[in-house]
Amino acid sequence: MLIRPTLGVKLILSVSLLVISMAVVLSSFFVCKQKAIIENELRNRGLSLSKNLAYNSEYGLLFENKEMLNKLIQGVLKNDDIAFVAVCDQNSKIIASIVNSTLWIDFLKGVRTTHSTINQYSYKGKSVYDIIAPVSTIRRVNKGESLIFDSQIGQTKSQENIGFVRVGILLENKEKTVKTIQMIAFFISLLVIMVGIVWTVLLARRITQPIKQLVRVTARVAEGDLCRFVNGKIRHDEIGDLTAAFNTMTEKLSESAKQIEEYLQTLEQKVEDRTSELKEANERLKKQDELKSNFLSVAAHELRTPLTSMRAFSELLLEDPDGDVNTRNDFLKIMKEEAERLARLINDILDLSKIEAGKATWHMKDISMIEVVQTAINGIKGYIVQQGIFLSVDVPEHLSVVTADHDKLIQVVVNLLNNALKFVNHEGRIGVKIYETVAAAAEVITAISNTGHGIPPEKLASVFERFCQIENIPTEVKGTGLGLTICKEIVEHLGGRIWVESEIDKKTTFFFSLPVKGAISLPVVNEGGGESPCSV
């Protein structure tokens, strides 16, 4: 398994390594430096002791006064670390010496040099500085006087070496001191290293703690929990900036997620709405398709009826060319009526199809309903007089104009008047009334009524459907059943409404309304309402 060191471990390792190396290097440097200082100081001390002794030993050595020399040596031996002190003549013969251990007696026998030197020796497990200082003197002769000796330390041209002194300084003390220094350096280094490591661990924790928290929160966010934030004390460094940026990011993410959720909900709602609209449209189309199929079958049937009748009578006429004149005339009259009915039917079907297909031409202009009604009545006036029908016309003095197609409006009024004439009973009363409503949605309403059989309440809505003809209503002229359908299509196309009210065995009133020019159009309502304004 691949071991992946964490950032904290890496940081601790690298900083610890740095601290350890620094501590080792610095402590080694310090120990070396201290050692050099101690050695230097020891040598200088030895040199100064030996030079002093050499200076003081001049007379003792010239006169080989051992007692004097021993006293001088005793003075030097007061120092603890002195191993031996010896005064030798120029032939390296020891004149006086003192050793602090017998092991140095043999060591002193070996003469190395008479010059001023410092040598380090290891002898029988002991280290020693063997410091040699020459003893010199200046010889002068004054006239008539005996010999006088004068001496001085140092090399001059007139100087003469008469021997040398040897001072042995033990290095044991120095080594002890160095060891102590080493120990101190070691413990200080250890302390520094430990403090460094502890500090590094704390630092690593301080750095990695928020990063770990960030990683944890990021994982939660990645799992989809967008409402997660990094909490805790705000730090004023790069990690603090990173935390703040992360929190801003999650805040924006959660806002975006909320918006997306809202969009999704709206989208779902829209899809639902559209689906239900589509379903409704589909239903409507199905219904229309059904209506079309019905219309086609009914239209075919309606077309066949007059044709069959005409064919039957023409065959009868052909079969009996010499038949009774009156009978033949009756047959021809029926055939003529059927032909006219057929022509009407075809015209009505064509009109209806044109309107429904939106192919009818509409010549819109401002029209007064009074004029329209008047024109329509003029067309049937002769018939009314002939039939002895009582017609009452009630129109206001002033009437607002409507915007409509003149010919199509006449077609509506003529259809309704024809129905009134067709279905009027023996009382023979027909009424026409025009009036205007006063409202924001002002309308001009035309009501055409007739006394008669009446339409049963359950049939009131269906009279406007194609080919609807109510049975049991006595009529002389057989219609097509399309008149009211055409009226409805025209009125609704002009923004109006059409409805019927009927009282059985009393009267039937057809109303249609058209919006006054400039008024607000009302939605189309197919049912009647209110009291009949027609007095028949």
Ligand X SMILES: Nc1ncnc2c1ncn2[C@@H]1O[C@H](COP(=O)(O)OP(=O)(O)OP(=O)(O)O)[C@@H](O)[C@H]1O
Contact 449, 510 (CB under 8 A): yes
Residue 419 sits in the site that holds Mg ion (CB under 5 A): yes
**Residue type for position 134:** P
CB 82 within 8 A of CB 100: yes
Do residues 12 and 204 touch, judged by C-beta distance below 8 A? yes
Interface residue with ligand X among 334, 339, 399, 470 (CB under 6 A) is: 470
Question: One symbol per residue from 503 to 532: x for binding ligand X (CB under 6 A), - otherwise; what is it?
Answer: -----x------------------------
342/484 with CB nearer ligand X? 484
420 contacts ligand X (rule: CB under 6 A): yes
Would you count residue 479 as binding ligand X (CB under 6 A)? yes
Give whichever of 83 and 486 is closer to ligand X, judged by the CB atom: 486
Strand stretches in 477-524, DSSP E: 497-503, 507-515
Nearer to ligand X, 250 or 502 (CB): 502
The least distance separating ligand X from the CB of residue 350, rounded to whole angstroms, comes to 13
Q: Applying CB under 6 A, which part among 8-16, 125-133, 413-421, 434-442 lies near ligand X?
A: 413-421
Distance between CA atoms of 511 and 445, rounded to whole angstroms?
7
Rounded-to-integer distance, Cα 534 and Cα 447, Å: 7
Residue nearest ligand X (C-beta atom): 479
Give the nearest distance from C-beta 397 to ligand X in angstroms.
28
**Smallest separation, CB 485 to ligand X (Å):** 6
Distance of alpha carbon 181 from alpha carbon 32, whole angstroms: 10
Q: Which of residues 467-506 bind Mg ion (CB under 5 A)?
A: 479, 483
Q: Of the candidates 448, 447, 453, 449, which has an alpha carbon nearest to the alpha carbon of residue 425?
A: 453
Candidates 19, 217, 484, 519: give the one binding ligand X (CB under 6 A): 484
> Least CB distance from residue 307 to ligand X, whole Å?
17
The kind and range of the H/E element at 121 are strand 117-123
How many chain residues touch ligand X (CB under 6 A)? 22
For residue 432, the partner it binds in Mg ion, ligand X, none, with Cβ less than 5 to 8 A by kind, is none
- Chain centre to alpha carbon of residue 402: 58
Q: Which residue is nearest to Mg ion (CB)?
A: 483
Q: State the pairing for strand pair 390-394/429-436.
A: parallel
Q: Residues 53, 131: contact at Cβ < 8 Å? A: no
Question: Which residues on adjacent β-strands are paired with residue 84?
Answer: 99, 168
Indicate whether 452 belongs to the interface with Mg ion (CB under 5 A): no
Q: Of 468, 503, 517, 522, which one interacts with ligand X (CB under 6 A)? A: 468
Distances (CA, A) of 406 to 92, 348, 369, 413, 502: 163, 18, 9, 11, 28
Decide: is 455 part of the binding site for ligand X (CB under 6 A): yes
Alpha carbon distance 470, 461 (integer Å): 12
Question: Least CB distance from residue 470 to Mg ion, whole Å?
Answer: 11
Phi (first) and psi of residue 368, to 5 degrees: -100, 125
Residues that bind ligand X (CB under 6 A): 348, 415, 419-420, 422-423, 450, 452-453, 455, 463, 468-470, 473, 479-484, 508
Residues that bind Mg ion (CB under 5 A): 419, 479, 483
